[in-house]
Amino acid sequence: NIMLIIPAIDLKDGHCVRLKQGDMEASTVFSEDPGAMAKHWLDQGCERLHLVDLNGAFAGKPVNEAAIKSIVSAIGGQIPIQLGGGIRDLDTIERYLDDGIDYVILGTAAVKNPGFLHEACYAFPGQVIVGLDAKDGKVAVDGWSKLTGHDVIDLAKKYEDCGVSSIVYTDIGRDGMMTGVNIEATVALAKALMIPVIASGGVTNLDDVRKLCDVESEGIIGTITGRAIYEGSLDFAAAQALANELSLNAS
């Protein structure tokens, strides 16, 4: 298996943006053409793409569907696309899968409504991912504004039992702050689960990629990166090439 370096495209008002620690006001527009941005990452060797409907995450319903469709029409069918943000019901999941999205990522909705998660996993087997945002081992919900008392590993095990296909794990103390991945916390989660974990938040350079590749065998299949590849501290093509090389050597 090859460690996937997964570019994030965060969508706000139809544009590609980057937030600082989840703050909608502190956003920078990177591109006004989401389809072209997706094609750019595909051309750079990307094997999976991560989309976030930021307005949707705050509104609790899809807001950037037009931009999402433009991305699917640019690269759909060539690599898997995963999407999160504002997915709160089965109709929305069905609509996105019909649009050509491969995996939906459930966040806050799943934490608050386990019944919904069960239904989603039953209706769309293999296509439901849960995003877990954590700080100091506790789960955060509602666009990171609230910390809950839930232990990350306990909750992730419940999701695994539901039939979730993988977990996207974000250490929110580090996301967008360019401080490196929380390897220990990510490994501890991956070791406790049978399903794979996708790391998120904090990948800033090739050294972080090396560290993640070292622990890939624990069940970490990829890492999502956003700000670093847009601001240039991480060369995406070099990162995926390094991951490919390390994975081949490991096998």
Summarised one tens digit per residue, pLDDT across range 100-159 is 999 999 987 777 788 999 999 999 999 999 999 887 778 877 655 666 678 899 999 999
Catalytic residue, chosen from 133, 171, 175, 208, is 133
For residue 136, indicate whether it is catalytic.
no
Distance CA 164, CA 205 (A): 30
Q: Do 176 and 201 contact (CB within 8 A), yes or no?
A: yes
DSSP code for 246: H
Q: To the nearest 5 percent, what fractions of the chain are helix, strand and coil? A: 40, 30, 30
Does residue 175 carry a pLDDT above 60? no
Q: Average pLDDT for residues 209-217, to the nearest whole number?
A: 93
Catalytic residue, chosen from 10, 53, 102, 171, is 10
Summarised one tens digit per residue, pLDDT across range 26-46 is 777 778 899 999 999 999 999
Summarised one tens digit per residue, pLDDT across range 178-202 is 567 888 889 999 999 999 999 987 7
- pTM, full prediction: 0.92
Torsion from C-alpha of 230, 49, 76, 32, nearest 10 degrees? -30
Distance CA 27, CA 13 (A): 11
For residue 175, indicate whether it is catalytic.
no
CA distances from 183 to 107, 110, 111, 112, 191 (A): 21, 25, 23, 27, 12
